[in-house]
Amino acid sequence: MKQSINASWLQNFASKALLVSIFLLGSAAAYSAENRKPNVVVLLVDDLGSDEICTYASKFHETPNIDALAAQGVKFTRAYSGAAICSPSRAALMTGRSPARLHLTDWIKGEMQINRKMLAPDWQPYMDKERVLLPEAMKEQGYATGFFGKWHLMPKPTTYMRYRNDKKLMDEQEAIFPEHYPEKNGFDENYAGDHSANQGNRFLYPETKRFYNLKDKGTEDDCITDILTDCAVDFIERKKEEPFFVYLSYYTVHRPISGKPEYVKKYKRKLVDNPNAGYHMKDPGKAAMMQSLDESVGRVVAKLKEIGQLDNTLIIFTSDNGSFSEEYVINYRGYKTTPYEGGTIVPLLVTGPGIKQSVCDTPTIGMDLYPTILSFIGAPLKPKEHVDGVDIMPVITGAGAIKDRPLYWHYPHYLMTTTPYSSAIVGDWKVIYFAEDEKLELYNLADDPKEENDLSAKHPEMAQQMKDTLMKILDETNSQVITHNPDYDPDPNKFSGGERAYKKLKGKKKKQ
């Protein structure tokens, strides 16, 4: 009888212990879920000015999923890219340093110039390996890191270096090329990231398979945007039990315009059906690319919701520079590569836990994302790395403001669209300095956001003060100086321009 009682007691105790264990395990799991580090998803679009999104200005494009980010989080109206062109801007985001400080100031590979008045400096077409990049900082905090899309931060020796006619230097660049892939710079996985400047003719299947690491990805119904999203969504699913950092760096909406045929047809019909709508943007191909982009954003958000992590994920949507044509710019002057607002004003939408819906007119710049992301996940900042970026979490959460600071850009190069320039914004004032003829332009952005009225002649003292400030900044950041070309021939019959224009000219002469 005594043994029976003891056995019953032991069985009862064991049952209770099991229940307690289950309860404790459940509590631990709940505690772990509640205290898990937030995920971070960065959605970087190529050549997307803010005016192209409906929540900012567009009436022709359709971007409901992107607009939803603005409705749920912070919409910045004065967000600037680190440069008006791709590679420098992307390097600024990865390093938290200005392109001027990095000496990475042009797109990689750059373009050879012929008989120009000024000589570009010996700039660096890659990021220094000693830098601690943003994904490396995330890995230090235990994050799984995935890269998807356009990287464009690798040296291109066989094309770029030949312009210098230096075999030794070319060999050096060739040797370091493999070390500059995303997976050698903090990312666990890399899909499509290499030296490619744009999608070229690979937007639609099956040409998409030519991208790095995408050989077995995609179907006949897919475009490159869909396939990159497939890879990102799969990564999120596989890494859902740990904090993850997703950097989805779209090739879209860069030229060539290559929308899905069925979407192109839809927007052609939209133009026909609405002849009096007054659309500022009327390119059905571009609108089709925008629809694919918007669907991608929706799919990423849906996956985060499906795995129960949407409320634990910081989502940042932005662009590397402004639109590539005036056709897509409504509220500003200029476009990609130019020193005007249209070249560097980009969309910036931020959503995540603790972030309420608001519109923010505080000026920000691409370098700010590095320290801001670290701040959001509770990691220590790296001020010796992101020296040109500041933590903008106070304005994102509404907890406070950030100190006023000058914003600046430095482009000591030529393109078909511009001559070498440097520029700075201090308060409401903006100065642009064109190195070739030492011309100054001065604008008051508060009164003249479209930069229609050059005030340099009316306010020469302010123009000079702004120039002095700009030059001081460039000196303090060890920016490279553009110099006069001793071999420049001013003869108007002598060609002066870039290699692409020269080739076109030669082609026309042959046809004649």
Residue carrying the six token digits 């049952």 = 15
Helix (H, G, I), strand (E, B) or coil at 431: strand
pLDDT value of residue 177? 83
Long-range contacts of 390-397 (CB under 8 A, 24+ apart): 392/362, 392/364, 392/368, 395/74, 395/360, 395/362, 395/364, 396/74, 396/350, 396/355, 396/360, 396/372, 397/354, 397/355, 397/356
**Class at the top of the CATH hierarchy for domain 419-481:** alpha beta
314 DSSP β-pair partners: 40
Residue ranges matching CATH 3.30.1120.10 in the chain = 419-481
Q: Among 24-33, 114-123, 272-281, 323-332, which stretch is predicted with the lowest mean pLDDT?
A: 24-33
Q: How many residues does the chain have?
A: 512
Q: What is the spatial distance between Cα 215 and Cα 333, in angstroms, rounded to a whole number? A: 41
Residue 23: pLDDT above 60? no
Predicted model pTM: 0.91
Residue 14: pLDDT above 80? no
Q: What is the spatial distance between Cα 50 and Cα 130, in angstroms, rounded to a whole number? A: 34
Q: What is the spatial distance between Cα 134 and Cα 140, in angstroms, rounded to a whole number? A: 10
Asked if residues 288 and 265 have their Cβ atoms less than 8 Å apart, the reply is no
Residue 158 pLDDT level (bands cut at 50, 70, 90): low
Check residue 100 and report its DSSP letter. Answer: H
Tell me which H or E stretch contains 443: strand 439-444
Q: How much of the chain, in percent, has pLDDT values that exceed 70? A: 90
Helix (H, G, I), strand (E, B) or coil at 512: coil
Q: What is the spatial distance between Cα 345 and Cα 5, in angstroms, rounded to a whole number? A: 79
Q: Among 6-20, 27-41, 419-433, 440-454, which stretch is predicted with the lowest mean pLDDT?
A: 6-20
CATH number of the 38-406 domain: 3.40.720.10
Residue burial 392-402, b: 16+ Cβ < 10 Å; e: rest = bbebbbeeeee
Q: What is the spatial distance between Cα 244 and Cα 216, in angstroms, rounded to a whole number? A: 24
Residue ranges matching CATH 3.40.720.10 in the chain = 38-406
Asked if residues 153 and 86 have their Cβ atoms less than 8 Å apart, the reply is no
| Mean pLDDT over each residue of the chain, to the nearest integer | 91
Residue 510 pLDDT level (bands cut at 50, 70, 90): low
pLDDT, tens digit, for every residue of 193-215? 999 999 999 999 999 999 999 99
pLDDT value of residue 502? 86
Give me the mean pLDDT over the 337-359 stretch: 97
Q: How much of the chain, in percent, has pLDDT values that exceed 90? A: 84
pLDDT, tens digit, for every residue of 380-412? 999 999 999 999 999 999 999 999 999 999 999
Residue 2: pLDDT above 60? no
pLDDT, tens digit, for every residue of 469-484? 999 999 999 999 999 9
pLDDT, tens digit, for every residue of 234-270? 999 999 999 999 999 999 999 999 999 999 999 999 9
Q: What is the spatial distance between Cα 229 and Cα 235, in angstroms, rounded to a whole number? A: 10
Give me the mean pLDDT over the 142-170 stretch: 76
pLDDT top residue among 86 and 28: 86
Residue 6: pLDDT above 80? no
pLDDT value of residue 166? 63
pLDDT value of residue 175? 78
Closest among 487, 505, 442 to 469, alpha carbons compared: 442
Q: What is the spatial distance between Cα 67 and Cα 56, in angstroms, rounded to a whole number? A: 9
Residue 7: pLDDT above 70? no
Residue 34: pLDDT above 70? no
pLDDT value of residue 512? 65
Give one DSSP letter per residue of 240-255, joined into a string: TTS-EEEEEE--TTSS
